């Protein structure tokens, strides 16, 4: 019985120690992550955006690129640009940074 009490006491102490660290408020002013403050640069022609450029863009600009790809004739992308914005971001992490996003989305930039 004493081993059980000792085990429960150790468990209770561990919960108090780990839970107590979450109660401390963080003071100061929130600061944006470097590289995310403000809107990123948009290429003149959204269809020529490379993966390197795409990965540095904010979410809104990424959707603009994908919408431009959809409007250029890719009906599958045009049906759900929000989905394809995420897919393009994931695929661009695996291909050559100089690959055009348009080619990556269409399956031509993956080797």
CA angle 78, 49, 60 (to 5 degrees): 60
pLDDT at 23: 59
pLDDT at 1: 63
54/87 Cα distance (integer angstroms): 12
Helices 59-71 and 81-92 pack at an angle, to 10 degrees, of: 110
> Model pTM?
0.59
Rounded average pLDDT per 10-residue block, the chain, 111 residues: 72 61 66 57 78 92 92 88 92 91 80 55
């Amino acid at each position: 019985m004493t081993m059980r009490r000792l085990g429960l006491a150790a468990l209770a102490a561990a919960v108090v120690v780990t839970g107590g660290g979450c109660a401390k408020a963080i003071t100061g002013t929130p600061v944006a992550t470097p590289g995310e403050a403000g809107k990123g640069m948009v290429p003149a022609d959204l269809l020529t955006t490379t993966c390197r450029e795409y990965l540095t863009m904010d979410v809104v600009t990424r959707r603009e690129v994908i919408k431009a790809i959809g409007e250029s004739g890719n009906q599958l992308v045009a049906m759900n640009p929000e989905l394809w914005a995420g897919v393009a971001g994931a695929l661009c992490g695996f291909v050559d940074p100089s690959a055009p996003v348009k080619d990556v989305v269409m399956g031509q930039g993956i080797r």
